[in-house]
Structure 1
Amino acid sequence: MGPEFRPGSLVAEYMYLMVSLSTLHSCGRRPRMSATYDRIKGGSTAQEGEWPWQASLKKNGQHYCGASLISDRYLVTAAHCFKNSQDPRNYTVTFGTRVNLPYMQHYVQQIFIHENYIKGQLHDDVAVILLSEKVLFKNDVHSVCLPEATQIFPPGEGVVVTGWGALSYDGEYPVLLQKAPVKIIDTNTCNARDAYNGMIQDTMLCAGYIEGNIDACQGDSGGPLVHPNSRNIWYLVGIVSWGAECGTVNKPGVYTRVTAYRNWIASKTALFNMYFKLVCIIIILKKLLLLLTISLSFFPAILATWFITWERAPGW
């Protein structure tokens, strides 16, 4: 026997994917915040729900790295966060502004490290986390949008970095989530001899200030660098990766450029598969609808022909 066709199963899957797609399309929103982005001038404590995609990656119960929620089961972080252990059982993910009293906690099911990442080196510093259960989206917990691979974030653009990293190099760690406005710095400027002297690759980006002061720090690794578009939808621009101490002159923070790894991230998650299945189902439904419309348009003529044939049949 061939595969069983269940009327309605196609429609049910279509409806499920439509709901899933609407969830993807609602990424990057901050339900608790006003529509206007308040451009803060210095590092400060974040409000509840201000950065709902920010997660704390905990190792054996202690904050270890930051991470960004990109769907209800996947997060993006830095590969170097797993340099000492890639065992999912050692890690949990929590949400909320308080790192020691999390809003919710989830277990890690699987960790995907970029295939070209080499422990102790700086390139391809990206990883994807799969949670064991779905995250229930609320005003305080929500996904950030992934940019398209071709999307451009030019130098001078204002962005925000968030995390529970040290307030200064080798300094104290905050209990509450911190936010800091920085600017994207031109790669040539960042590669200058008195800066990083050619160490910045195309898959990396610099953000901060050449004069120093405001910067990501230890414990912020893996966390988000985000930017809002004209409709106040927030996109993940970078992943906190490395730097020379924190806030040092000519040594801004270096981030993994998300657009360079957008397709890799999507290949490790269900995001590509969901879009592909949705497109296929829509095409099938459109063809079925077209076939039904054509059939109905010919139905009166077919019915009339049948009646004429029936009336002229011998013996009637």
Structure 2
Amino acid sequence: MRNHLKALQRCAAVGAVALAAVSLQPGTAQAQDPGPHPAPSVVGGTPAAQGEFPWMVRLSMGCGGALYTPQIVLTAAHCVDGSGPNTSITATTGVVDLDSSQAVKVNSTQVLQAPGYNGKGKDWALIKLAKPIDQPTLKIADTTAYNDGTFTIAGWGAAAEGGGQQRYLLKATVPFVDDQTCQGAYGDSLTPGEEICAGFLDTGGVDTCQGDSGGPMFRKDDSGAWIQVGIVSWGQGCARPGYPGVYTEVSTFAADIRAAAASLGG
């Protein structure tokens, strides 16, 4: 377990920011991290345009996600509580403004959490919706070919560490950080091969934050199409120098995700 530092997963309780240790489940109250906090600022984000990332999903437990199929959302394992029937999650899609009258809201029917998930690595899950969403989907990487370069991140999470959730979708770009460098920050807490890191190591200032958990990290593939390479998972605070964001390495689990989606029938 990540016990050498207070690693913060990036989910948020409804109506509040949940800064939490690795064992946090959505809605669980935890003491805030006592470490130094950066000055309040947008964590490198700018507003996304309507329709720019049409597969983005906001989940009612305080997480993000992406449409893997029209009826299945790919998110983080730590955003859900196990597998099985679940009608308690509402997915909001189709808008950058969560208060828009054009928002499409669909409830969940079933959740599948990554088999063997125990809080370290394997941080992916699927949520089946009650009906398909008429929006484009985001394909996932099934090789490591795109696990470098510059990535795009997006979400409705906090715009500064300890801040409130956002009404409008924000986006930013972050550079790849190699495993060796990332382990220099996180030591044994990092699971190479299952996690990928990104961020501005020297300066910080750009990062995902609480409420962005489960959302995609993505880039363009060789044909110019968006492809998902990561799932927002955890980090030390938000946008702190020396501590890049940590994301589930999607290519490692691509076959498992496909099989799981097929089992859900979506």
How far apart, in 2, do the equivalents of 1:154 and 1:146 lie? Answer: 12
- CA deviations 1:256-276 (Å, max 9, x no partner) are 0000110111001139999xx
Q: Corresponding residue for 1:145?
A: 139
Q: 1:183 aligns with which of 158, 161, 175?
A: 175
Deviation at 1:151, TM superposition (A): 3.5
Correspondence 1:1-316 to 2 at 5 A:
42-59=44-61, 64-83=62-81, 88-95=86-93, 96-101=95-100, 103-118=103-118, 121-136=119-134, 141-148=135-142, 150-155=143-148, 157-192=149-184, 195-201=185-191, 202-211=193-202, 212-270=204-262
- CA deviations 1:194-237 (Å, max 9, x no partner) are x1123221100001110211000000000010110232200011
Deviation at 1:85, TM superposition (A): 9.5
Bigger helix share:
1
Deviation at 1:83, TM superposition (A): 3.8
| TM-score (ref. length: structure 1) | 0.65
How far apart, in 2, do the equivalents of 1:68 and 1:204 lie? Answer: 18
How far apart, in 2, do the equivalents of 1:147 and 1:272 lie? Answer: 20
Give the SS at the match of 2:66.
strand
How far apart, in 2, do the equivalents of 1:249 and 1:167 lie? Answer: 16
Structure with max Cα Rg: 1
Deviation at 1:153, TM superposition (A): 2.5
Bigger strand share:
2
Unaligned runs of at least 5 residues, structure 2: 1-43
In structure 2, relative to structure 1, the CA distance for the partners of 1:152 and 1:163 (3 Å cut) is: same
| TM-score (ref. length: structure 2) | 0.77
- Would you say the 8 A contact 1:241–1:255 is kept in 2? yes
Give the SS at the match of 1:190.
helix
How far apart, in 1, do the equivalents of 2:126 and 2:83 lie? Answer: 15
69-78 vs 196-205, greater mean Cα deviation: 196-205
Superposed structure 1 runs of 4+ greater than 4 Å apart = 84-87, 271-274
Unaligned runs of at least 5 residues, structure 1: 1-41, 275-316
How far apart, in 1, do the equivalents of 2:205 and 2:244 lie? Answer: 9
How far apart, in 1, do the equivalents of 2:264 and 2:111 lie? Answer: 18
Whichever residue aligns with residue 189 of structure 1, its letter is T
Whichever residue aligns with residue 107 of structure 1, its letter is N
- Would you say the 8 A contact 1:266–1:272 is kept in 2? no
In structure 2, relative to structure 1, the CA distance for the partners of 1:271 and 1:208 (3 Å cut) is: farther
Give the number of the structure with larger relative contact order, counting CA–CA contacts within 8 Å between residues 6 or more apart: 2
Once the two structures are aligned, what percentage of the paired residues are identical? 32
Give the SS at the match of 2:186.
coil
- Would you say the 8 A contact 1:165–1:173 is kept in 2? yes
Give the SS at the match of 1:198.
helix
